[in-house]
Structure 1
Amino acid sequence: MVREPNLVISSASQRIVEDGMSFTVDLYKLEGGDGWSLEVLTEDGTSIVWDDLFEDDRTAFEEAISTIRSEGAVAFANGGSNVVPFKQ
C-alpha cells in the first residue's frame, strides 16, 4: 500500500494584522516535496492561493507581506476587486 505524503506546515505561518485587518498566512508543502505553497486567509474567510511554489517558506512569507502592503489590505478583504469568488 502506498502511503500518502504528510503535509508539512511551516513554523513561519502566522496571523498578521495590516491596516487594522487580520490575515492568516499559511505556508505548507508535501513531505519530501519541492517548494512551499502560500495561502492567505482574510478575516471574512476569503482564501487567496498563489499559483507558484516558493523555494523556501521565508521567501513565501515575505511575498505575502509584500503583496498585502503593495496591493493594500482592503484589496484582499470583502471580495476586493482582485478576488474572484467561487461560483456557488
Structure 2
Amino acid sequence: MPENEQLYEFSEFSGEFVDDDVMVVIGIYRQADTNGDWTLEVVDQEGYSTVWEDLFDTDRDAFQEFLATVQRDGIRSFLEQSIHTVH
C-alpha cells in the first residue's frame, strides 16, 4: 500500500476479504483530491503485494476486477508471491 496514506484517497471497497479460509487486504486508492483513476492492490497474509498495472476508471471497476480474479484464479493465487504486477 502507499507509504503516505495522507496523500491517497481509499475506496469504500478497500479492506479485508476472506475466502476459502484465506484473508487478503484489498487496497483501492488514488491520489487525494483528484478525480484520477484508481489503483488496485492486494496484500496477502505474509505482506506480499499484487498490484495491477492498469488503472481503473472507477473504484467499483477495480473491485469487480478483484472479484473476477478470485473467481477465475482463486484467492490462493495471491499467496506466497513476491511483489508483482498484473497486466
Q: Pick the TM interval, shorter chain.
A: 0.7 to 0.9
The answer to whether the 8 Å contact 2:41/2:49 transfers is yes
Identity over aligned pairs, percent: 31
Return the structure number with greater helix share: 2
Q: How does 1:33-72 map to 2 (within 5 A)?
A: 33-72=35-74
Q: Which residue of 2 aligns with 1:13?
A: 14
TM-score, normalisation: structure 2 = 0.78
Larger RCO: Structure 1 or Structure 2 (Cα < 8 Å, ≥ 6 residues apart)? 2
Alpha-carbon distance, 1:69 to partner: 2.1
The answer to whether the 8 Å contact 2:15/2:25 transfers is yes
Structure 2, unaligned stretches of length 5 or more? 1-5
Give the Cα separation in 1 of the matches to 2:19 and 2:77: 12
Q: Which residue of 1 aligns with 2:3?
A: none
Runs of 4+ more than 3 Å apart: none
Structure 1, unaligned stretches of length 5 or more? 80-84
Larger Rg: 1
Q: Which residue of 2 aligns with 1:78?
A: 80
Give the Cα separation in 2 of the matches to 1:35 and 1:19: 30
- SS class of match (1:40): strand
Alpha-carbon distance, 1:71 to partner: 0.7
Alpha-carbon distance, 1:56 to partner: 0.5
How many corresponding residue pairs? Answer: 77
TM-score, normalisation: structure 1 = 0.77
Q: Does 1:24 align with 2:22?
A: no
